[in-house]
Structure formats: structure tokens, C-alpha cells
Structure 1
């Protein structure tokens, strides 16, 4: 690890997989007592770790390698025709990055989870879940708030600022505004934000080829996938 630092890792017992009903999963966690500075966080992200709440983790499944870390090299990214349409449909939105979330964020999150993810392990939404997942964060965490022309909050993108990029942690949005494609727009905005900061990457989390809700990441090209400890670019 960075600076030859010894880091304790903890593996969970097998637990139901969040993506495939026919298998169990195991997860590897970084020592929760370890102080994570930006340099170490960047180093771990380069090796496929992700953040959930205050914890850094990555899949540790012996017989399944479906979860593949992904990132976008932002300077090479070229939006598709459909992605340009998404950008144009949302050019009226105002985006403000803040170190904390607005009070309006939780009601928006609750509507999003209870409408869009009734089949997931985050349903039903609760304030406790919201706080542990998104409010318990890192010093480098930023909350990008997307407001419409009336000043209403329509989306929030949670992201961490690393030494070599932004890490897209989670996005939630108004489930009634389907035409805006706010989830896609949030990714496109974060790609642009990383480029504006002269950061080379947007870390997108795990790409899972055989899971519909996680396969979308390869819609953003070129993309880099972490394979056998090496980032491989796919155009």
C-alpha cells in the first residue's frame, strides 16, 4: 500500500449477493479504525476499493469475479448523440456543490428509493439508512445539488474528491422527472466537473456485465476496467 503502510483487512462471512439471487457474496473491508487521508483513499480507489458510508470495501468472492471496478478517462470522453440530448435537456439546471446536504435532500431520497428501488435491499428508505449511507462521509466528500429554475431540488450527486479524480458514490433524483434522465445527466456533469478540475478520472464503481442495473457504465466511452490488477481501456 501507499508508503509501505500496513493495512488490516477484514473479510465478511458469506451473505446474500445484492445483484444475483442464486449466489452469496463476501466483502473485504479496510480497517474501520484506520485514518484515511486523500492519498491513501486515492491509492485504494486505484486498486478497486469503493466507499459506502464511512467504510471502504471491495468484493471478495472466491468463485465470482463479476464486479469490475470502472473509471472514465475524462479528457478522452466524447458524449454520444443521446448523451448530448440529455445535456441539452438539462441545461436549465443550476448545480451547486456543498459540504453538506440540503434539508430537502432526504425527502427526495425517500421518494427516489420508494419509487425506483422497491426490489432492493435499501427499500423502504429510512432516515437512519440515509445518514449511515450518505451523510456519514469523508472530509473530501461533496454533494452536488441540482436545482431547477424554480429553485426546487431535483437531484443530488454524492462524490468524493481524490488526488486523481472524482469518485461517484451515489445519485438520487426526482423519480417523476423521467424525461430529464437525471441519473445520466449527473454522470455527465461529474465527468465535466472532473475535467474542469484537471483531474484525469471519474471513478464510477463496479460494472457488472450480467446485471442490467449495473451494466450501464459502459455507455460512457472510453471506459477503463480493472482486470487482474491492471486498468484496461475499452473504446
Structure 2
């Protein structure tokens, strides 16, 4: 019987299943486990190669006839917000994000359920229980943080925290060369704030302040309306067969 070290990754391939982004397509994924003392180092390497993390799994699309899923990252030093993004920042200048440990709360789960029910009622996460949510947040062997966004209070400039109800949350991995936005959700009733875009803009600013060159946005899928917003963050780099390629338009 052959034994394998926990520090030596083994890769597996899923069976075909319906694609969540493009109707009529099927998806397959290649995945491995992110465990052991080299989990952080392995996650960095795999992220550079187009993998994403979900709990202790790193995965990448491996579809036989489709290459629509493209990894996207924003070079933070070269990013300058467009006029529309400046309006988003202005609309949310009363919000502040507090960076903390990846610990779940009942308040987070309540907001998460409202977000799913409003925006992704037909998605694969709709049946997630509070225990499932806690596992999504806590189950990580790498440097993972949680950013909670609330309205600014009188002491926010001192303690870096907001006050009042939670309006947005983002689960974020800290990589050697950037921040990887694993999953974000927000109050669906505050649609005029464009909170999804604001959270990305805030992460770009955070990465810049931390001296990290990139923010990883996950997959952009051409032809998928759900993923179209990622193409607006320019300039950006997309992982092509020849490597990371810069796009300005």
C-alpha cells in the first residue's frame, strides 16, 4: 500500500455536472487538499496557476470543451478608479471595514441568508445551514481573514471599527503577493450603494496599504452576466495559456 505525505499534493478530477454560469454547458474541476504545514505555500502556487480555494480544497475548472472561466487579478499599484467607481466610493464613504479573524457569527449568517435568498436563490449555496456557513468561514489551513463593513461611528478613527448593523462581509485570503477574495456578500436592500464593487475597491486599497501587488477576483466568465462586473476593474491581468496577460479595455 502506497502512502502519501500530507505535504505532497494529490490531484483529483470531478465527474461532469451542469455549469452554474453558462446554460447547456457541463463543468469538471481538478482539485487537491490544502492541509499540512505547506498549505499556505501550496495555495500561493496554485492561485498563480488559476486555482481558487473553498475551505480546505483548491480547485480549478478542467472542462473538456470550454475555457470560458478565466482567472483575473488587479495590479493595485496601477489601478485608478473610473468616474463610476469614484461615485461608488463617495456613496459609501460612511462605511468602514474592520479586518479580523475568520470567525463566524449569527449576524453574518442572517445577512448571508438574506443575500442568497435575494441574489442567488437558484444557486448551489441556497441550502447552506448555519453549520455549513461556519465551516466555510473557519475551515482554512492558511492565513484567512474576515472583513466586516458597518457605518462609521464617532470612535472609528481610533479603533478602526464601525457601528450599527452589518452591511457587508468578505472572506479573504492573505497571499504572499496579494489578497484573494474568497467570498463576499452584502445587504441586498442597499442596491444603490453598489456594495459588491465597493468591497472590491476597498480590497484594492487594503492591498496597496499592505504593500501587496495584486487583488485576486476569482473567475471572469465571458458570456455570464453574473461575472460581467469583474471586467470593469481595469487594468487587470487574466491568466491565458501563455501566462498572465494585461488587459486595459
> Is 1:123–2:131 an aligned residue pair?
no
Match of 2:61 among 59, 62, 68: 59
Shift of 1:50: 0.3
After superposition, the Cα gap between the structure-2 partners of 1:199 and 1:33, relative to the gap in structure 1 and judged at 3 Å, is closer
Match of 1:205 among 218, 227, 240: 218
Q: Which runs of 5+ in 1 are unaligned?
A: none
Residues 68 and 227 of structure 1 are in contact (CA less than 8 Å); yes or no, is this contact kept in structure 2?
yes
Residues 95 and 146 of structure 1 are in contact (CA less than 8 Å); yes or no, is this contact kept in structure 2?
yes
- SS of residue matched to 1:7: coil
Q: Which runs of 5+ in 2 are unaligned?
A: 1-6, 153-162
Q: For 2:220 and 2:67, how far apart are their aligned partners in 1?
A: 11
Q: For 1:125 and 1:33, how far apart are their aligned partners in 2?
A: 23
Shift of 1:35: 4.8
Shift of 1:69: 0.7
Q: Counterpart of 1:231?
A: 244
Q: TM-score, with normalisation over the residues of structure 2? A: 0.87
- SS of residue matched to 1:71: strand
Count of residues paired in the alignment:
231
> Is 1:174–2:187 an aligned residue pair?
yes
Residues 22 and 223 of structure 2 are in contact (CA less than 8 Å); yes or no, is this contact kept in structure 1?
no
- Which stretch of the first structure deviates more once superposed, 36-45 or 121-130? 121-130
- Which stretch of the first structure deviates more once superposed, 57-66 or 20-29? 20-29
Q: TM-score, with normalisation over the residues of structure 1? A: 0.92
RMSD of aligned alpha carbons: 1.7
Q: For 1:31 and 1:142, how far apart are their aligned partners in 2?
A: 19
Cα deviation digits, residues 4-33 of structure 1 (max 9, x gap): x85310001111211123021111011455
Residues 138 and 160 of structure 1 are in contact (CA less than 8 Å); yes or no, is this contact kept in structure 2?
no
Match of 2:52 among 50, 53, 61: 50
Residues 74 and 201 of structure 1 are in contact (CA less than 8 Å); yes or no, is this contact kept in structure 2?
yes
Residues 35 and 56 of structure 2 are in contact (CA less than 8 Å); yes or no, is this contact kept in structure 1?
no
Q: Counterpart of 1:147?
A: 150
Residues 36 and 141 of structure 2 are in contact (CA less than 8 Å); yes or no, is this contact kept in structure 1?
no
- SS of residue matched to 1:130: helix
Match of 2:19 among 17, 20, 29: 17
Cα deviation digits, residues 167-222 of structure 1 (max 9, x gap): 01111111111111111100000011001000000000001011010121110000
- SS of residue matched to 1:87: helix
